[in-house]
Amino acid sequence: LEFINNADQISSNLNIGGDESSSSEADAEENTKEIKDVLFGLLGHILDLLPIQDFITSVLPLLSRSNDEAIRHHLTLVTATKFELEPMESAQTADRVIDTLFENISGENEASSIVQASLNTLSTLISKFGDKLDSSLLTQSLKISTQSLLSERSEIIISSLNVLTNIVQTLGVKSIAFYPKIVPPTLKIFQKFQDSDDSLRQQLQLSVILLFASMIKRLPSFLLSNLTDVFRVIFFADDVQDSIRLSVISLIVEHIELKEVMKTLGKIWLSDISTTDNSVSVSLFLSTLESTAEAIDKKSATSQSPVFFKLLLSLFEYRSISSFDTNTISRIEASVHQIANAYVLKL
């Protein structure tokens, strides 16, 4: 650590390149970075050799007291890596680390890199140990991550979403008290970055979708009030791979009442899908409708038949309002015919 703190002096003393006058400031910074990278790597390997208790004894004071941002950032990341290889019996030791992470996340004027690294490490620990962690720490994690969700920095928002995803997966219905602090802000975040040129937009959209995937599995009945919003996120998260979005659609069909899914599909077709020129969104909608028609039971299909046939008529009228070419419209209509046949067989 002393070498790391004095990397600037070491670089100057080494005088790489031989002629001090020819060494630019940029070269000096690059040399310092290379030296620090090597020393950080060496430090990481040394810490990996320590038993977990000795590791914590050595690292925790530095996480909270070191004045060097680079050291704190690196040690926070090393801590996450260390615990990934630990057995479940180390959950109590992880509790100690989480207390320190809370301090770093909530600290006033804390550097964003430290907050982000602390949130990422917190997410790793919750994913690893789940309900083996102290329940009060999990509740506090919910509180802190929902507060961090309101940050103006996209990297901190993404890390907060990842923490929330793992907590919801761990606590399930026990996290429902924080629903108003999770879902509405997340939807606002998605809308805010939908048309932005933020370099992290893809990661942010993916984090939002993964959070909703976790809620679909663990809180399906509670998510019904925002099911239209969830579909809107899935259909219009253009930077997320189609395969991932199709997987989340499969989760919806598997975990949510299909009569509610059918009602929601009828609404979102009229409000969003029929007016978009995004062919992928239309394709995902049709895939959802097809999966629902195939999986719905006879009783639900009968009760929702007015909704379905109203939607069917609108789909057949789509040609008159769509801006797609004739071949695309023909493929859409062929899919609609197939879906209609599958649904009628359920009646």
CA atoms of 147 and 150, how far apart (whole Å): 6
Residue 21, pLDDT score: 46
CA atoms of 250 and 206, how far apart (whole Å): 16
Q: Identify the burial level of 181 via C-beta atoms within 10 angstroms of its C-beta, where 0-12 means exposed, 13-18 middle and 19 or more buried.
A: middle
Give the residue from 189, 268, 263, 180 showing the smallest Cα distance to 223: 180
CA atoms of 11 and 160, how far apart (whole Å): 37
Structure tokens, 28: 């000096």
Q: How many CA atoms does the CB half-sphere of 271 hold within 13 Å?
A: 11
Residue 13, pLDDT score: 57
Residue 7, pLDDT score: 46
- Concatenated DSSP letters of 139-201: HHHHHHHHHHTT-S-HHHHHHHHHHHHHHHHHHGGGGGGGHHHHHHHHHHHHHHHHT---TTH
Dihedral angle at the C-alpha atoms of 64, 67, 68, 71, nearest 10 degrees? -20
DSSP state of 86: S
CA atoms of 174 and 168, how far apart (whole Å): 8
For residues 302 and 288, is the Cβ–Cβ distance under 8 A?
Answer: no
Residue 66, pLDDT score: 61
Handedness of CA 5, 6, 12, 15 (dihedral sign): negative
Cα distances from 82 to residues 2, 79, 90, 144, in angstroms, run: 22, 5, 11, 23
| Residues in the chain with pLDDT values less than 70 | 1-29, 31-32, 65-67
Residue 11, pLDDT score: 47
**Using one digit for the tens of pLDDT, what is the confidence trace for 218-227?**
999 999 999 9
- What is the pTM (predicted TM-score) of this model? 0.89
Residue 325, pLDDT score: 93
Q: How many CA atoms does the CB half-sphere of 118 hold within 13 Å?
A: 27
Q: How many CB atoms lie within 10 A of CB 274?
A: 16
